[in-house]
Amino acid sequence: MTGENWHQRESYTFDRNVIAEIHRAANTGIYRIRGFGAKRRLPTFDDLVFLGASMSRYPLEGYREDCGTDVIIGEGRAERPVHLDIPITIAGMSFGSLSAQAKEALGRGANAAGTSTTTGDGGMTPEERGHSKTLVYQYLPSRYGMNPDDIRKADAIEVVVGQGAKPGGGGMLLGQKITERVAEMRTLPEGIDQRSACRHPDWTGPDDLEIKILELREIVGWQVPVYVKIGAARPFYDTALAVKAGADAVVVDGMQGGTAATQDVFIEHVGIPTIAAVPEAVRAMKELGAHRDVKLIVAGGIRTGADVAKALALGADAVSLGTAALIAIGDNSPSLEDQYQALGTTAGCWEDYQDGTDPAGITTQDPELSARLDPVVAGRRLANYLQVLTLEVQTLARANGKSHVHNLEPDDLAALTVEAAAMAKVPLAGTSWIPGMG
């Protein structure tokens, strides 16, 4: 280096984003609220690889040999267990945060792929019930729009304790998205900046949760499974406690998990990465003898069939998609570049789900913007995407000699970095070394 550009050297400590944020904070006096998930570099499933078949493992033929992908949740406990054709579900995203068209598209796509969708912080709309063959009903701290009729219409109930984007934080929906209908569904004044509760109003702690689950089961006559969703904070203990409380499935959402609106400081600085959370949740289930009986659903930054397969290999039974599903139906599409530019951003970087200005008509309540999203076409896009993920998982499972995707195991994996090896508890590639395990 000659050093002649020293006056153009950017600081690692105060890089352009940091400086922009300090200016923004100084200008407004309010923390940054945004959507999407954590944007910083984190250890991810990309830091793991499959080993594939070899002399000691036979691969299966790609076209001829079966490779099952189905998942059953709540068998033996609920009268009507949930049957999914693929181990990929659509995560809870509320009507309110999403447009009615987007919810419909998610329902259509999930139906075509044989999987479930999930309500969100705002209750169940008749439209989404109508468009989703298998619909999971979220039971959240705010209990917005909660009523026993809807709970009885659900195919499963998901008690939300936390979310990966903000373990310990409640929902947020800013005034520009609180239209008359959204306000009415939530029994709130129109146009307020809504901050929903972060703790359940009528239970605290795992012993209470057990009684809450009993009550929910009694109300629905033990018909449908009950899931518990946690943000990846202390996944070993939280999973163990959820299992002990009687959950049929535990949803573990890593820190990359998307959100409709949360403080940036929360998104980027609270919770642990998905890759670190999965083995801990699995360990808890194994210690309780519940692994594979109680199902583990993993969310937070799942994008590809490889991500799905790696989550399954670490011991998950299924995964759940938020952000990727929105992208599949058109979020951040380059075809809308002019409009992203007009919003001061660019396709691929847009994160203002909180703002209601979504050019793709997905995270908005604006009638003109949301009318842009054709739910039929968008549903097909989602179905295609889910099909690709499923085919990719099967490809990887067959390559590792597995006749069902649930037969993938940690032994099929190696880690590319020491961090990933330590977090995922699989050996560093080319060694038998798992840091922290001897």
Partner 1 sequence: MNDGTSATVTEIDMRNTSLRDLNRQLHEATSGHFVVTNPRGAHAVAAGIDSDIVVELRGSVGYYAAGMLQRGTVIVDGNAGTGVAENMMSGVARVTGSATMSAGATGCGGLLVIEGGAGARCGISMKGLDIVVGGDIGHMGAFMAQAGNLVVLGDADHHLGDSIYEADLFVRGDVASLGADCEEKEMSAEDVDLLTQLLERAQMTADPGDFRHFGSARQLYNFHPDDINSEVAEARS
Ligand X SMILES: Cc1cc2nc3c(=O)[nH]c(=O)nc-3n(C[C@H](O)[C@H](O)[C@H](O)COP(=O)(O)O)c2cc1C
Q: Return residues touching partner 1 (CB under 8 A).
A: 26-30, 142-143, 146-149, 151, 174-175, 186-189, 191-193, 197, 201-203, 208, 211-212, 214-215, 218-222
In degrees and rounded to multiples of 5, residue 49 shows phi and psi of: -130, 155
Task: Note whether 124 and 111 are within 8 A (CB).
Answer: no
Q: Which stretch binds ligand X (CB under 6 A): 177-185, 239-247, 315-323, 422-430?
A: 315-323
Q: What is the CA radius of gyration of the chain?
A: 22
53 binds, among ligand X, partner 1, none (CB under 5 to 8 A by kind): none
Task: Note whether 230 and 250 are within 8 A (CB).
Answer: yes
Burial readout 341-351 (b: 16 or more C-beta within 10 A, e: otherwise): eeeeeebeebb
Task: Note whether 99 and 125 are within 8 A (CB).
Answer: no
Cα dihedral 264, 120, 326, 409, rounded to 10, equals 90
Q: Which is nearer to ligand X, 299 or 309 (CB)?
A: 299
Other C-beta atoms lying within 10 Å of the C-beta of residue 435: 15
391 binds, among partner 1, ligand X, none (CB under 5 to 8 A by kind): none
By the rule CB under 6 A, 91 interacts with ligand X: yes
Work out which of 256, 354, 364, 394 binds ligand X, going by CB under 6 A.
256
Q: Which is nearer to ligand X, 224 or 321 (CB)?
A: 321
Which own/partner pairs from 188-191 qualify as long-range (CB within 8 Å, at least 24 positions apart)? 188/144
CB of 240 to partner 1, least distance (A): 22
146 binds, among ligand X, partner 1, none (CB under 5 to 8 A by kind): partner 1
208 binds, among partner 1, ligand X, none (CB under 5 to 8 A by kind): partner 1
Task: Note whether 385 and 111 are within 8 A (CB).
Answer: no
In the beta sheet, which residues pair with residue 232? none
Nearest partner of 141 among 220, 91, 63, 194, judged by Cα: 194
CB of 144 to partner 1, least distance (A): 8
Work out which of 67, 86, 302, 318 binds ligand X, going by CB under 6 A.
302
Q: Which stretch binds ligand X (CB under 6 A): 206-214, 264-272, 316-324, 391-399?
A: 316-324
CB of 262 to partner 1, least distance (A): 14
Interface with ligand X (CB under 6 A): 35, 37, 91-94, 97-98, 120-121, 138, 160, 163-164, 229, 253, 256-260, 299-302, 321-324, 353, 363
